[in-house]
Amino acid sequence: MAEEKIPEIFDLETYQYELPEELIAQYPSQKREESRLLVLDRKNKKVTHHEKFAEIEKYFKASDLLIVNDTKVFPARLYARKETGGQVEILLLRLPEKEKPVPALYRGKRLRRGTRLKFEKGLEGIVRETLGEGKILLSFVNVDDPLKLIYEIGRVPLPPYIKRSPKEEDLFRYQTVYARKPGAVAAPTAGFHFTQTLLKKLQEKGVQLLSITLHVGYGTFAPVKVKDIRKHKIHEEYVEVSREVAEKINRAKDEGKSIFAVGTTTVRTLEFSALKTGKVEPTSSWCDLYIYPGFKFKVVDHLITNFHLPKSSLFILVSAFAGLDLIKKAYQEAIERKYRFFSYGDAMLIL
C-alpha cells in the first residue's frame, strides 16, 4: 500500500531555509535597542525595515497591552570530575533542590548510576538514574543550598550555535532587563531588545506592561525530527499566569484592545492558559502546547520575536501565526539584507 502523502504545510522539509553561517549572531548588538527591526504586516502583506528596534514604539497605541516573560536564566552549565578523574560537563535542565534529583544533560565518558561527581567549592552530586541520550537524574548532596553554590561556579548556558565560551557580558546580556524568576536554562530572547528606558516610554504612552512566566527549557533548541510535523512531541515547560494578569488580559480583549506578546514563550503560555475556555485562566502547571499551522489563536494579536532556526518548533509557531508564505518572504528579505539571526540576532514584529 502506498504511503499516505503528507500535505505540504505539515511536511518538515517545508520549514527548511538556507542561512549563511555568518548571519548567526555570536555576540549581542552593542546596545539592546539598537538591534534591527523587521515589521511584517499580515493584513497588507507588507514588510518594513527599521535600523533600530526602539522604533517599535510607533506601532503601539495607548490602550495596548505588552505581555513579557519574566523568567530568569540561571547558570546551568557546570563542570565536574568523577572519582576516577575524568571531566564531565553538566547542563542542569531545572533549578536544583536539596537532595531532590534534577534532570540534566552531560558530556563526557558514560556516567553510571551511583557515580559521584565533584564540582568546585565542595559541591558534590550523585547520579541517581541514567535516562539515555546523554540524560541523567542528578542529586546534590552535603550542601543545604546547592543553588547558592551553582550561582558561584556555574556558567551561562549559551545556545549550541554560539560557537564560543561565555564571557562576562553574557551574564547580563543573555537575560532580559525584566527577568525576575530564576528557572530557565535558555532565555526568552525576543525580550533582549527592550531597555528599561524603552519600556518606560511605552508605559508613559499608556501601554500596559504585564508579566507571565515560562521557564524556558533546553528543548527549545531541539530540532523537529519527524517528517510529519504534527507527530512532533514538544518538551514540557513550567508556566505561571496570575489571576490578576488573566483578568486584565480578558478585560482588554473584551474592550477590543490589542495584545502584544514578547516572544514565542509568551504566546505559548497565553494560548495554553486559554485552551479550555477561550479566556486566559490563572495557570500554574506544565505546558506542552505545540503550535503548528491550523492552530486557532485566541489571545495574542501581535508578536515580537527573533529569527528562528529552520525546522524548529519556533519557526513552525511563527509560520502558524503569520502564515508560511509570508514568513518565508520576510525571512528571505532578512537574509538578503543581512539581518542577524537567532538568540543574539535582530527582531521581528508581526502585526
In the listed set 153, 178, 200, which residue is the last one of a domain according to the structure?
Answer: 153
Inter-axis angle of helices 324-336 and 313-322, nearest 10? 110
Same domain for 260 and 125, yes or no, is: no
Q: Domain tally for the chain? A: 2
Is residue 26 in some structural domain?
yes
pLDDT value of residue 344: 98
Is residue 3 in some structural domain?
no
Same domain for 100 and 50, yes or no, is: no
Which of 132, 125, 141 is closest to 92 using CA atoms? 125
In the listed set 153, 187, 208, which residue is the last one of a domain according to the structure?
Answer: 153
**Spatial contact of 206 and 238, defined as CB atoms under 8 Å apart:** no
For 139-155, the DSSP string reads EEES-S-HHHHHHHH-B
Residue 328: all three cell numbers together: 518565508
In the listed set 153, 186, 202, which residue is the last one of a domain according to the structure?
Answer: 153
Is residue 57 in some structural domain?
yes
Which of 300, 22, 69 is closest to 189 using CA atoms? 69
Which of 143, 120, 139, 142 is closest to 129 using CA atoms? 139
For 23-81, the DSSP string reads GB-SS--SSGGGS-EEEEETTTTEEEEES-GGGGGGG--TT-EEEEE-EEE---EEEEE
- Residues 166, 2: Cα–Cα separation, whole Å: 50
CA dihedral sign, ordered 142, 146, 148, 150? positive
CA of 97: how far to CAs of 92, 101, 115, 120, 230, in Å?
A: 11, 8, 19, 18, 35
CATH number at residue 99: 2.40.10.240
- Residues 84, 82: Cα–Cα separation, whole Å: 5
Give the residues across from 260 on adjacent strands. Answer: 66, 302
Relative to beta strand 87-92, strand 77-82 is: antiparallel
What one-letter code names the amino acid at 133? E
Which of 185, 271, 175 is closest to 221 using CA atoms? 185
Same domain for 304 and 321, yes or no, is: yes
Is residue 158 in some structural domain?
no
Residue 150: all three cell numbers together: 551553582
- Residues 115, 134: Cα–Cα separation, whole Å: 14
Same domain for 61 and 103, yes or no, is: no
Is residue 159 in some structural domain?
no
Collapsed DSSP state (helix, strand, coil) of residue 225: coil
Is residue 161 in some structural domain?
no
Same domain for 235 and 307, yes or no, is: yes
Same domain for 65 and 194, yes or no, is: yes
Q: What is the pTM of this model?
A: 0.94
Collapsed DSSP state (helix, strand, coil) of residue 238: strand
Is residue 340 in some structural domain?
yes
Same domain for 27 and 106, yes or no, is: no
Same domain for 276 and 209, yes or no, is: yes
Give the structural domain span for 95.
Answer: 77-153
CATH number at residue 271: 3.40.1780.10
Same domain for 57 and 108, yes or no, is: no
Same domain for 197 and 116, yes or no, is: no
Relative to beta strand 102-107, strand 135-141 is: antiparallel
Please state the length of the chain: 351
pLDDT in tens, the chain (351 residues): 456 799 999 999 999 999 999 999 999 999 999 999 999 999 999 999 999 999 999 999 999 999 999 999 999 999 999 988 889 999 999 998 766 899 999 998 889 999 999 999 999 999 999 998 899 999 998 888 899 999 999 999 999 899 998 898 998 999 999 999 999 999 999 999 999 999 999 999 999 999 999 999 988 877 899 999 999 999 899 999 999 999 999 999 999 999 999 999 999 999 999 999 999 999 999 999 999 999 999 999 999 999 999 999 999 999 999 999 999 999 999 999 999 999 999 999 999
Same domain for 144 and 178, yes or no, is: no
Is residue 165 in some structural domain?
no
Which of 218, 210, 217, 262 is closest to 241 using CA atoms? 210
Relative to beta strand 208-214, strand 259-262 is: unpaired
Same domain for 146 and 16, yes or no, is: no
